[in-house]
């Protein structure tokens, strides 16, 4: 079984001004050097800046920094850059910050995992969590019976983050999006200062999830 790390990302939801988020802003204010091969599109409602494996995407109510082609998820660049931006523009309205680790397990029999999630009431047992929500979607395969193709399990982790684990099943692989979400920043913006120090804890949680999934596939 092979792990392909598709991307890690940091997302904030709030109120943003894409027209000022330019390559020059990143260079001068955030001290980020963009490669010569990068490309950008900046309008009043959208700023999309790409440089190598990094993409910055800002809309009026959403800002995402994404890094692809990773050997591991230890790189804190997306988070550090997001926090740098929010420190420069301290009065940016915020409501949510999310961190995503997205990866695919190749060469595995997804049917074994699907069996574990066939009953919504027992879906949390596979990960030893008490779910606050479970969503299961299914589709017909070749016009025959329904087959589960995606499961999302949400649960509270602690005072800072809510965790949502989304598994998308294909014939010989499973794609996992491990999401950690911090809400309530419109009322408690100071919580965002704790995120960087908390990042190693999120990595440990993600590693633990990997081991649980690998155990379910054996």
Per-residue pLDDT of 16-25, as tens digits, reads: 999 999 999 9
Rg (CA), the chain: 19
Strand partners, 70: 5
CATH 3.30.310 fits 2-102, yes or no: yes
Mean pLDDT of all residues belonging to the chain: 90
Task: Read off the tokens for 94.
Answer: 């915020």
CB 34 within 8 A of CB 26: yes
d(CA 112, CA 135): 18
Q: Of the candidates 202, 10, 195, 215, which has an alpha carbon nearest to the alpha carbon of residue 100?
A: 10
Residue 122 makes CB contacts below 8 A (sequence gap 6+) with none
Task: Please state the pTM of the whole predicted model.
Answer: 0.92
Mean pLDDT computed over 210-217 = 85
**Per-domain boundaries in the chain:** 2-102, 109-171
CB 10 within 8 A of CB 82: yes
- pLDDT, tens only, 79-138: 999 999 999 998 899 999 999 999 999 988 888 788 888 777 788 888 888 888 989 888
pLDDT for residue 138: 85
Query: Could you count the other beta carbons within 10 Å of the beta carbon of residue 94?
Result: 19
pLDDT for residue 37: 64
d(CA 58, CA 18): 6
CB 108 within 8 A of CB 217: yes
């Amino acid at each position: 079984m092979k792990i392909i790390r598709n991307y890690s990302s940091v997302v904030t939801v709030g109120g943003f001004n894409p027209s000022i988020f330019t390559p020059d802003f990143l260079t001068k204010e955030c001290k980020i050097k963009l490669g010569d091969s990068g490309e950008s599109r900046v309008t009043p409602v959208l700023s999309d800046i790409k440089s190598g494996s990094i993409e910055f995407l800002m809309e009026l109510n959403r800002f995402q920094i994404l890094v692809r082609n990773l050997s591991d998820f230890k790189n804190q660049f997306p988070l550090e850059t997001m926090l740098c931006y929010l420190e420069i523009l301290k009065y940016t309205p915020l409501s949510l910050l999310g961190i995503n680790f997205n990866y695919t397990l190749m060469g595995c029999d997804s049917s074994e995992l699907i069996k574990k999630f066939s009953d919504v009431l027992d879906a949390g047992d596979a990960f030893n969590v008490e779910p606050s929500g479970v969503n299961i979607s299914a589709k017909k395969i070749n016009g025959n019976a329904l087959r589960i193709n995606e499961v999302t399990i949400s649960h509270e982790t602690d005072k800072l983050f809510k965790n949502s684990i989304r598994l998308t099943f294909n014939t010989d692989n499973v794609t996992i999006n491990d999401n950690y979400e911090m809400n309530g920043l419109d009322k408690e913006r100071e919580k965002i200062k704790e995120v960087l120090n908390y990042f190693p804890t999120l990595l440990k949680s993600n590693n633990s999830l990997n081991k649980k999934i690998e155990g379910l596939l054996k």
